Amino acid sequence: MGQMINIKGVWLFIGGMFVGIFATAFVRFPATNSSEWAAWCQAIGAIIAIAVAIYVPYQQRTDGEARDRKRDELRRKEPLMSLQPIMERALSLLEKIPLNETTDIYVEHFFAHVSDPDAVSTVRASLIAFPIERLIDFQAIQSVFEMQDALKTASDALRSAGEGDGWAGQWPSLRQRFEAAAAQASRAKAQFKAALDDAGISNYVTGSAIAKNEWTARADVT
């Protein structure tokens, strides 16, 4: 934008300079007959033609560059905005999983009513199916792989909780696996949020997991 203003200023300066030159020349060498008037008109017309010949290609190039920037901006933002709901869903599922600081009441409630390994696997499948080649931002690509790992860790742990003596007998091991999934998800969220910020996407969904600054585990029954 600053460069465009500077270029416009240059054009104004050049235009003003030519006006000044012609005004001075006209005062010093006024036209006294029709042939001199014709010569003056021809000179002015030639200058205008030269100015137009320079300005039109410049303006076309400027417009083309603006269109290219807009296209590149859309190419960067559109896949990120398509990916955002999937990442939101992944985080909303993972932040419900009990971590080290959650209460025994919540852990019991979670495995009885909240645990849904199929939903976690479905979101992971959506991430795997996402056309990652459309992403331009390196951090966004990293976040996809990191979140896939987090969902795999969580899904495997949730499924194993229904085997053997159930979650109670496996809780120390499950808790470690859930903590690992939470750490992976935190890194994925930070990477994806950085990609959104770098792309100028700040219209996070109100209350979304992406917009929160800290990873928060649900510690009570709602």
Residue 208 pLDDT = 57
Taking residues 156-173, report their average pLDDT. Answer: 80
pLDDT band at 18 (very low <50, low <70, confident <90, very high): low
- Report pLDDT digits (tens) over 22-76: 656 555 556 566 676 666 677 677 777 777 676 667 667 766 666 757 776 778 8
Q: Give how far Cα 21 sits from Cα of 18, 47, 220, Å.
A: 5, 12, 81
pLDDT band at 219 (very low <50, low <70, confident <90, very high): very low
Q: Residue 172 above 80 pLDDT?
A: yes
pTM of the model: 0.65
- Report pLDDT digits (tens) over 87-135: 999 999 999 998 876 677 888 888 888 889 999 999 999 999 999 999 9
Taking residues 79-90, report their average pLDDT. Answer: 94
The residues, any chain, with a CB within 8 Å of residue 143's CB and separated by 6 or more, are 87, 187, 188, 189, 191, 192, 195
Task: Report d(CA 35, CA 106) in Å as an integer.
Answer: 99
Q: Residue 200 above 60 pLDDT?
A: yes
